[in-house]
Structure formats: structure tokens, C-alpha cells
Amino acid sequence: MFSVFYNNRFTKCDDLKVKLDNVAFSRISRKDNDVLVSRLSKEEIRTTLWDCDSNKSIVPNGFNFKFFKQLWDLIKMIF
């Protein structure tokens, strides 16, 4: 009984799929795509890092931007 209930509850249902027939999606140019997927330069990364408040952190209980700024000479080598 237990397994039947959950099998029915979590079985894939094709009726709920989103249909996108006849939807026209905008496209970006090849040039714009190349910019979006290109590697960031060390200078772009450094500039962005220095624009961030040193007391802020990307994730809770993570390293703050001050940490990355102080160790930039070491960290920049991985880029």
C-alpha cells in the first residue's frame, strides 16, 4: 500500500509538460555569444573584486572579499 501510493505520486506524468510549440525565441548574434563565453581577463577579475565591499562575502560563513584582495598576488596565478 505504501509503495503503491508513492509510486503513483511520483510517477512521471506527460500531461504536465510545458509545450512551446510555435514560440519564437530571440537569438543573439555570434559576436555577442563570443563575448558571453569568452574567458575573463585577470584585469577584469581584479577590477570586479576591488569594486566589492571588503567586508562582504559571496556565501554565508565564507571568505570575504578582503581575503581575496589581500591574497590577490597568489590567487591571480590560477587565472
Residue 21 pLDDT: 83
- CA dist 68 and 50 (Å) reads 9
pTM greater than 0.75 (yes/no): no
- CA dist 16 and 19 (Å) reads 9
Residue 33 pLDDT: 96
Residue 10 lies in a domain: no
Domain that holds residue 66: 39-79
Per-residue pLDDT of the chain (79 residues; tens, 9 = 90+): 777 887 777 777 666 677 788 888 899 999 999 999 999 999 999 999 999 999 999 888 889 999 999 999 999 998 8
Residue 49 lies in a domain: yes
Residue 43 lies in a domain: yes
Count of the separate structural domains present in the chain: 1
